A and B are shown apart, each in its own frame.
Chain A
Amino acid sequence: MNLANLHLLLPEIFVLSMACVILLVDAYWRKCLHGIAYQLSQATLVGALLFTAFISVKEPVIALSGTFVWDSMAKVLKLFIYVITFTVFLYSRQYLIDRNLFKGEFFVLGLFAMAGMMVMVSAHHFLTLYLGLELLSLSLYAMVAMHRDSAQASEAAMKYFVLGALASGMLLYGMSIIYGLTGSLDLTTIAGVIAENKIEPMLLKFGLVFILIGLAFKLGAVPFHMWLPDVYQGAPTAVTLFISSAPKLAAFAMLMRLLVEGLGSLNVDWQGMLLFLSVLSMALGNIVAIAQTNVKRMLAYSTISHVGFLLLGMLTAKEAGYAAAMFYTMVYTLMSLGAFGLLLLLSHAGFEAENLNDFKGLNRRQPWYALIMMIVVLSMAGVPPMLGFWAKWSVLSQVVAGGFMWLAVLAVLFSVIGAFYYLRIIKLMYFDAPTDNAPVLKPSADIHWALTLNGMVILVLGVLPESLMTVCRVALS
């Protein structure tokens, strides 16, 4: 085994070791050092950020006998994952304290999940990819079930686990077929063998279908979306925040690695399948969201529709399209952070803010948070000048450039339908009077400023989106 490039794995090694350290520290000193796990976790994320930022490699490097790749996409996505996870931990703190869940397990599991994402992002081999995916998924199952006494959370965890296992099985089956056909698990070799055109295409398609089903399950694309609303609703909001943000970046990386790097020459086949998934997701997500009264469930359906948009970028099968999809994913995580962050803020001891009516009259009570929520929601609806508009725009521009005019028209029509339920939140916040005795909340300064920054980033990058677009374009070239 060639260990020359071991330094490329420093961030992963660091995160995993720190997670183990935190587990031990928390086990022994939980009583005397209150909140140590939280502080150490945040320090770990900062450390990982520095490690990753200082590794500068010009050309993509494939290390560890072809199982691990370091390229600019991996670097950008990892950096973004650290920032998102950091914010997730920050937003969750008060919520967890109020519910007596502020324990080491949340942060340790969070770090393990993140390590899984990092492995997925850098995977260059079916096995590494699967390893990262399982590390991520198993941690998330446990996190959903963390609220032991909640029947709803347990039900969500069970559903998540069973369906997640099924999806992993599908993925693994697809991988084994491809392995059987190409004789390799390494993505470069697989791509090379397929490009030689010596394999019966029908068999390859057969394997591809299973891989795609696995991916669609993990992403939550229709018709493999059933777990998503239940998990979003049932999980503690802090966990929902986590599930809905950083793992989407890893899922995007998984799409890129498997479909583009590994099975790139089958693009004609997976384009059609993605098209099907994408249109169904946009349609079902946007239409069913209208009927929801629970915000978490509504945002789950909104996620499904965003996944549809993300897939639109992928199915153009061009580099600019992938860049647009990556941009979309990043923007989506920022918006999701903002929306669930505010939901966490509105929840307080003994009260879960999860119904749409909890937003009633927010503008009268707390105009600043109402403004931030409005920015986030308009961004999700794709109304300029918010960042979400440019996300939709960059995907649509690639779809139009690819000649799929009808698809672009369909996509914008579904986003008009989607605008309706986003507007409803604004209506509740701005047009309705507050309910009886909703208290005025005073969150701690760091959460207040983080949310403010979150909202402002969406607005300011919406006016000047070029920097983030360039990052995505450069990362994929």
Chain B
Amino acid sequence: MFAELPLLSLLIWLPILGGIWVLMVNPENQSTLRTAALAVSLVTFVLSLPLFFGFDITTAAMQFSELKPWIPMFGINYHLGVDGISMPLIILTSFITIIVVLAAWQVIQDRPAHYLAAFLIMEGLMNGVFAALDGMLFYLLWEAMLIPMFIIIGVWGGPRRVYAAVKFFLYTFLGSVLMLVALLYLYSHTHNFSILDFHTVPLTMEAQMWIFVAFLLAFAVKVPMWPVHTWLPDAHVEAPTGGSVILAAIMLKMGTYGFLRFSLPIAPDASHAMDGFMIALSLIAIVYISFVALIQSDMKKLVAYSSISHMGFVTLGFFIPFMIVQNTGATDAAMMGIEGAMVQMISHGFISGAMFLAIGVLYDRLHSRDIATYGGVGHVMPKFALFAVFFAMANAGLPGTSGFVGEFMVILSSFAANFWIAFFAAVTLIVGAAYTLWMIKRVVFGEITPQKQSTVGQLVDMNPRETLIMVSLAAMVLLFGLWPAPLLDVMHVTVENLVNHLLQSKAL
């Protein structure tokens, strides 16, 4: 029955229209508002499921495609479709949005209609980014997404929200405009904006290098890679909980998704030439940023830095294949690197989202993100302690959680490339465990000191709504930790196709 529906269009437009609908509900009536927003996000999630169950895992071609002329004069089409790379990300987006709506339930009292509407509209735009197969459609949605996020950080954020919001906007805007020039350059070769045509168009090495650099600026800012990561800690710290969750769980994935959809296939030779540089940047993110995370006293900042470090594994996995194929001549390990990176993207979406939500739970109660404010929370909030420790373990990459699968695959494949790369990446797992567990130790464990009796001592454990959010995220982390096969099956053929494409030079 779902075959006839324009599913991807629905996944884009339903949340956007739903968001506008929420704006029109009488703002006094807060419970209707929230129920409406929840209903929209639930329906969207249900509609995203057929993408998974109806997905043909034997082909790398685009599925659920939709193609309508949009601006035919310039060869711009409304072209949507998903493959094994984008489909899981769309489902992740739809899932996380439900969590964000739930997390805002009683917390957001100031203009909840605008808050919820902004998230729903953003959900539509993000689904669109992952589904777009036309360069201009992609760019339009990619940029448009900045507007609701800018508003969310600036209106509902912390004390330095204005600085963080403007920094976030300008940083990402700067990266993206150069991507626009690259898209226009590609258009002058293909005379349309189809991303699939961009993949096949032959380009000289010099052109590829310029295109690679332009895309790199756009995506590296979004991922974010060292050294253009500085907006992320600010944005995370100032954003409201929901904003941090969306940022960490989905927006960062857009950067890495961009590498897979644009940089690697459009400029494979340049990617090959630049892979050492990319791997170096990834390793700096993994190692250096881990140590930066270690000394943070603000919980949100710590998780933000941990995100940057974890995203380093993703970029490492994407750019390691060239070296592997050079060394071994086989593509198996190369594929494992990319697949591991993709698993890491999904897994990090759940884990970092959960970490920010856990911090949000504490913040809602004591209005502090400072680690020193807490201590011994486990005594008064046992349920919270359970989930906090669980997600901390997942963040540190404990086997059995999804955090382990991705990082393990990436490190394993790095061994096929170069021992030292794998060594540095693996050593960082220890630092990762150190900063996460140390934070948990200082927040959750220990005794409640007498000075903190009036604050920490009075904390109330998680309510059923918060527990429900944590349980659903924990279920996902365990599911993909213990049984990642469905996820790997979905992406396998697409990745195989991508690796084969990468190995063929398209230079003139």
**Chain A positions near chain B (C-beta within 8 angstroms):** 378, 383-385, 389, 393, 396-397, 400-401, 405, 408-409, 412-413, 415-416, 419-420, 423, 426-427, 430-431, 464-466, 469-470, 473
**B188 to chain A: which residues have CB within 8 Å?**
400-401
Ordered by A's residue number, 27 sampled pairs between the chains whose C-beta atoms are within 8 Å are: A383-B143, A383-B146, A383-B147, A383-B173, A384-B139, A384-B140, A385-B140, A389-B143, A397-B184, A397-B187, A400-B184, A400-B188, A401-B184, A408-B184, A409-B178, A412-B180, A413-B177, A416-B173, A416-B174, A419-B173, A426-B151, A427-B165, A430-B151, A431-B154, A464-B70, A469-B71, A470-B73
Complex interface: chain B residues within 8 A of A413 (CB): 174, 177
Please tell me which one of the listed residues B71, B169, B181 contacts residue A423 in the complex, with CB atoms under 8 A apart.
B169
Say yes or no: A396 contacts B184, CB within 8 Å: yes
B181: A residues at CB distance < 8 A: 396, 400, 405, 408-409, 412
User: Cα distance A431–B154 when bound, in Å?
Assistant: 6
Chain A at the B interface: SS class: helix
Q: In the bound complex, how far is the Cα of B312 from the Cα of A185, in angstroms?
A: 67
- Asked whether any CB of chain A lies closer than 8 Å to the CB of B415, the reply is no
Q: Smallest CB-CB separation from A420: which chain B residue?
A: B170
Q: Are A427 and B170 in contact (CB under 8 A)?
A: no
Determine if B46 is an interface residue (Cβ-Cβ < 8 Å): no
Distance between Cα atoms of A10 and B147 in the complex (Å)? 47
Q: How far is the CA of A466 from the CA of B178 in the complex (A)?
A: 24
Which residues of B167-193 are within 8 A (CB) of A?
Answer: 169-170, 173-174, 177-178, 180-181, 184-185, 187-188
The answer to whether the Cβ of B253 comes within 8 Å of any Cβ in the partner chain is no
Give the distance in Å from the alpha carbon of A396 to the alpha carbon of B155 in the complex. 33
B72 contacts A412, C-beta separation under 8 Å = no
Contact-size category for B:
20 to 34
A415–B71 Cα distance when bound, in Å, is 24
Q: Give the distance in Å from the alpha carbon of A378 to the alpha carbon of B169 in the complex.
A: 12
| B222: interface (CB < 8 Å) | no
How many Å from the CB of B408 to the closest CB on chain A? 40
Judge if B166 is at the interface, Cβ distance under 8 Å: yes
Compute how far the CA of A358 lies from the CA of B151 in the bound complex, rounded to whole angstroms: 20
With A383-B144, A384-B143 given, can you name 15 additional A-B contacts, CB distance below 8 Å? A384-B139, A389-B143, A393-B136, A393-B180, A400-B184, A400-B185, A405-B185, A419-B170, A423-B169, A426-B154, A430-B154, A431-B162, A466-B73, A469-B74, A470-B73
B261 at the interface (CB under 8 A from A): no
CA distance A470 to B69 in the complex (A): 14
Instruction: List chain B positions with a Cβ less than 8 A from chain A.
Output: 70-74, 136, 139-140, 143-144, 146-147, 150-151, 154-155, 161-162, 165-166, 169-170, 173-174, 177-178, 180-181, 184-185, 187-188, 210
Q: Select which of B140, B143, B161, B170 is within 8 A of A431 by beta carbon.
A: B161
Q: Which residue of B lies closest to A401 (CB)?
A: B188
Q: Which of A393, A420, A466 is close to B72, meaning CB atoms less than 8 Å apart? A: A466
For B143, B154, B184, the residue with the greatest tally of chain A CB atoms inside 10 Å of its CB is: B184
Give chain A residues whose Cβ lies under 8 Å from the Cβ of B71. Answer: 465-466, 469
Residues of A within 8 A of B185 (CB): 400, 405
Top 5 A-B pairs ranked by shortest CB distance? Answer: A412-B177, A400-B184, A384-B140, A431-B154, A466-B71
Q: Taking chain B's interface residues, is the majority helix, strand, or loop, or is none over half, making it mixed?
A: helix
| Min C-beta distance of A432 to chain B, whole Å | 8
Q: Which residues of B contact A397 (CB under 8 A)?
A: 74, 184, 187
**CB of A16 to closest CB in B, whole Å:** 38
Tell me, in angstroms, the Cα distance from A423 to B139 when the chains sit together.
20
CB nearest neighbor in B for A469? B73
Q: How distant is A410 from chain B, measured CB to nearest CB, in Å?
A: 10
Instruction: Kindly state the separation between the CA atoms of A389 and B170 in the bound complex, as whole angstroms.
Output: 16
* Neighbouring A residues of B169 by C-beta, 8 Å: 419, 423
Q: Which residue of A lies closest to B157 (CB)?
A: A431
Interfacial chain B residues near A416, Cβ < 8 Å: 170, 173-174, 177
Docked-complex contact A473 and B144, CB < 8 angstroms = no
Contact assessment for B184 and A426 in the assembled complex, using a CB-CB cutoff below 8 Å: no
A373 to B241, CA, bound (A): 28
Contact A473 B73 (CB under 8 A): yes
CB < 8 Å neighbour of B166 from A396, A420, A464, A473: A420
Residues of A with C-beta under 8 A to B210: 405
* Residues of B close to A470: CB separation below 8 A: 73
What chain B residues lie within 8 Å of A393 (beta carbons)? 136, 180, 184
A385 touches B73 (CB 8 A): no
Residues of A within 8 A of B72 (CB): 466
- Least CB distance, A131 to chain B, in whole angstroms: 36
CB distance from B75 to the nearest CB of A (A): 11
A464–B72 Cα gap in the complex (Å)? 11
**How far in angstroms is the closest Cβ of chain B from A429?**
10
Inter-chain CA distance A464–B70, complex, in Å, is 8
Find the B residue at minimum CB distance from A424.
B166
Nearest chain A CB to B465's CB is how many angstroms away? 28
Enumerate chain B residues within 8 angstroms of A419, measured Cβ to Cβ: 169-170, 173
What's the nearest-Cβ distance from chain B to residue A360, in Å? 13
Q: Could you say which residues of chain A place their CB within 8 Å of the CB of B73? A: 466, 469-470, 473
Q: Which residues of A contact B174 (CB under 8 A)?
A: 413, 416
Would you give the shortest CB distance from B497 to chain A, in whole angstroms?
A: 30
Are A384 and B144 in contact, with the CB atoms below 8 A? yes
